[in-house]
């Protein structure tokens, strides 16, 4: 089916090019990583040492950022596109083995993708001397054990090796010494799914979509009380408001609901207020709104009836349970913020708790980070943006608490 619509054409074309030409094409297209950090994929491949004998390719399918599901859609609906991208990338980096690291919660998707891999092997698209060329690539689908931090590339590598998913200290970077101490490239599912199109239609076609710093089509997820939650493709020039309102996308808010806040890039990037919906969903603009970045471009809408204390608590809980426990700031800070947020939601918040939340967020090291991986950055941006941007609401809620409640709760503890 995939092939009848032009699938696996790009890989045939790529195999006739030299690996360096493929890398150059992707560099020229300025394909930026879709996993969250937006690092240019071609540049990443260029970090591999020239004199390497083995190269490994890891496909990051550990999509765990709430509320993101674009990788899931890609693997469910178009698994062969991912495999084609994997083969081209494998060829470009001269990888011998590709590991697809998939989060364990993807049950159905696991079977779909495994079936696609089996089909590709049967057709001679994976394995020895694929497409009759001299290039061979083995592909394994590996399932994680349910940890957010294993989506971090070195956490993923540790987990893939069968160890606890604690991110590694860098240097050495994975490109130099990654999985099984071999040079390793880690790319997101969506990034690799872009690669066949760059090869087939050319870098100029890809670079012609969207602004120069954010080229190519991008999948956007939208969830929350909108008419048509789902995953939509667009150039990276639409705004958050358009994503919510356009008829071919979110289709507007549900009747009677109004936007109060949006987490436009997955929760870890931070929150926008209803007045900031003109933010462009590209790699640059989120910074102007106090956000960490584009992230996974998965917008979650919060409506006017939702208590921000609940949102705060829910976000803090996620990072409190998903911190791997390695670095001090993140391990202790996320858990502390969760405890404060829980108490606030229970109606026993104090005004100074808001300041403690802000200070803790800063002490945990927001960009540039103080920890081994970027998880604490992602844990602090939503907390900071919620507290800063919705401070008046939170303060009001605290003032509306039953008198004596704080003292009652605290004296029960101490």
Partner 1 sequence: MPKIIIDNHQIECRDGIPVLQAALEAGFDVPHYCYHPSLSVVASCRLCLMEMKMPHPKTQEMVWSPKLVPSCQTPVRDGMEVRFKSEAVTKNQKACMEFFLLNHPLDCPVCDQAGECYLQDYSYHFGDAESRMVDQKLVNPKKDIGPGTLLYQDRCVMCTRCVRFTAEISGTHELCMVHRGSRTEIDVFPGLPLDNPLQGNVVDVCPVGSMLDKDFLFKRRVWELSGTPSICPGCATGCSIRIDHVDNRVYRLKPRYSPKVNDRWMCDEGRFGFKYVHEPKRISSPIVRRGLERTTPSWEQLPEIVRFRFQKHVSGNGADRVAAMLSPFMACEEAWLLIRFIRGVAPEAALAMGPVPAEGEDQHFPVGAAGQAVKFTIFAEKCPNRRGIEMLLRAVGGATLTFEEFVEQSGKGEFSAAWVVGGYPKPWVEKDTAKIAANIELLVVQDIFDSGLVAGAAIVLPARAWVEREGSFVSAAGLVQPFERAIATPDGGRHDGQYLYEIAGYEGLFSAERVREMMAESISAFREIYEAPVLPAHTH
Binding residues for partner 1 (CB under 8 A): 147, 164, 169, 320-329, 331-336, 339-340, 343, 356, 363-365, 368-372, 410, 413-414
- Between β-strands 298-303 and 217-223, what pairing exists: parallel, antiparallel or unpaired? parallel
Least distance from partner 1 to the Cβ atom of residue 413, Å = 5
d(CA 158, CA 162): 7
Burial 372-385, CB ≥16 within 10 A → b, else e:
bbbbbbbbbbbbbb
Name the residue nearer to partner 1 (CB basis): 133 or 321. 321
CB of 163 to partner 1, least distance (A): 10
CB atoms within 10 A of CB 16: 9
For the purposes of burial, counting CB atoms within 10 Å of the CB of 79, is it exposed (0-12), middle (13-18) or buried (19 or more)? buried
Could you give the C-alpha distances from 237 to 101, 277, 361, in angstroms and in order?
Answer: 31, 13, 30
**Of 54 and 328, which CB lies nearer to partner 1 in the complex structure?**
328
3-class state of residue 75 by DSSP:
helix
Q: Which residues of 279-297 are buried (b: 16+ CB within 10 A; e: fewer)?
A: bbbbbebbeebbbbbbbbb
Strand extents, DSSP E, 103-156? 138-143
Please tell me the distance from the alpha carbon of residue 272 to that of residue 318, in angstroms, as a whole number.
Answer: 19
In terms of CB distance, is 36 or 369 closer to partner 1? Answer: 369
Find the shortest distance in angstroms from Cβ 40 to partner 1. Answer: 15
Given the complex with partner 1, which of 304 and 321 has the nearer CB atom? 321
Please give the backbone phi and psi of residue 219, each rounded to the nearest 5 degrees, phi first: -90, 135
Closest separation in Å from C-beta 306 to partner 1:
24
Peptide bond preceding 67 in cis form (omega within 30 of 0): yes
Name the minimum Å distance from CB 219 to partner 1.
29
CB 207 within 8 A of CB 277: no
Which of 25, 377 has the CB closer to partner 1?
Answer: 377
Nearer of residues 257 and 317 to partner 1, judged by Cβ: 317
User: Which CB, 122 or 351, lies closer to partner 1?
Assistant: 351
Give the shortest CB-352-to-partner 1 separation in angstroms: 8
Distance in Å, CB of 363 to partner 1, minimum = 4
Minimum separation from the CB atom of position 167 to partner 1 (A): 10
The residues, any chain, with a CB within 8 Å of residue 205's CB and separated by 6 or more, are 197, 198
Distance of CA 316 to the CA centre of its chain: 18
Cβ 339 to partner 1 shortest distance, Å = 4
Q: How far is the CB of 152 from partner 1 (least distance, A)?
A: 14
Judged by beta carbon, residue 114 or residue 363, the one nearer partner 1 is: 363
Q: Which CB atom, from 131 or from 173, has the smaller least distance to partner 1?
A: 173
Q: Which is nearer to partner 1, 206 or 338 (CB)?
A: 338
Tokens standing for 13?
């074309």
- Sheet arrangement for strand 259-263: 230-235, 217-223, 298-303, 259-263, 272-273
Closest CA to 52 of 144, 154, 182, 174: 182
Tokens, residue 37: 């950090």
C-alpha closest to that of 308 among 402, 395, 393: 393
């Amino acid at each position: 089916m995939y092939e009848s619509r032009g699938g696996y054409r790009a890989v045939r074309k790529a195999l006739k090019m030299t690996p360096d030409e493929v890398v150059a094409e992707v560099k020229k297209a300025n394909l930026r990583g879709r996993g969250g950090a937006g690092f240019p994929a071609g540049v990443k491949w260029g970090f591999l040492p020239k004199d390497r004998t083995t190269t490994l390719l890891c496909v990051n399918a550990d999509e765990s950022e709430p509320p993101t599901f674009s990788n899931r859609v890609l693997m469910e609906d178009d698994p062969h596109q991912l495999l084609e991208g994997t083969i081209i990338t494998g060829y470009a980096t001269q990888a011998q083995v590709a590991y697809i690291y998939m989060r364990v919660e993807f049950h159905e998707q696991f079977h779909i993708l495994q079936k696609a891999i089996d089909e590709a092997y049967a057709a001679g698209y994976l394995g020895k001397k694929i497409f009759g060329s001299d290039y061979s690539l083995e592909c394994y689908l590996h399932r994680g054990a349910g940890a957010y931090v294993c989506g971090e590339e070195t956490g993923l590598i540790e987990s893939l090796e069968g160890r606890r998913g604690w991110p590694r200290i860098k240097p050495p970077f994975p490109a130099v010494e990654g999985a099984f101490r071999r040079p390793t490239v880690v790319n997101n599912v969506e990034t690799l799914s872009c690669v066949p199109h760059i090869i087939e239609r050319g870098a100029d076609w890809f670079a012609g979509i969207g602004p120069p710093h954010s080229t190519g089509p991008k999948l956007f997820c939208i969830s929350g009380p909108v008419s048509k939650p789902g995953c939509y493709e667009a150039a990276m020039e639409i705004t958050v408001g358009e994503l919510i309102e356009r008829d071919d996308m979110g289709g507007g808010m549900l009747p009677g609901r109004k936007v109060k806040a949006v987490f436009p890039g997955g929760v870890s990037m931070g929150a926008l207020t209803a007045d900031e919906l003109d933010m462009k969903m590209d790699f640059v603009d989120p910074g102007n709104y106090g956000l960490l970045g584009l992230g996974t471009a998965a917008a979650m809408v919060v409506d006017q009836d939702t208590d921000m204390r609940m949102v705060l608590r829910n976000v803090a809980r996620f990072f409190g349970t998903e911190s791997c426990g390695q670095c001090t700031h993140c391990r202790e800070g996320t858990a502390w913020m969760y405890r404060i947020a829980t108490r606030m939601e229970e109606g026993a918040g104090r005004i100074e708790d808001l300041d403690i939340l802000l200070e803790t967020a800063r002490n945990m090291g927001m960009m540039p980070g103080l920890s081994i991986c970027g998880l604490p950055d992602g844990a602090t941006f939503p907390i900071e943006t919620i507290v800063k941007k919705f401070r008046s609401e939170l303060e009001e809620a605290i003032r509306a608490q039953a008198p004596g409640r704080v003292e009652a709760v605290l004296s029960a503890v101490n």
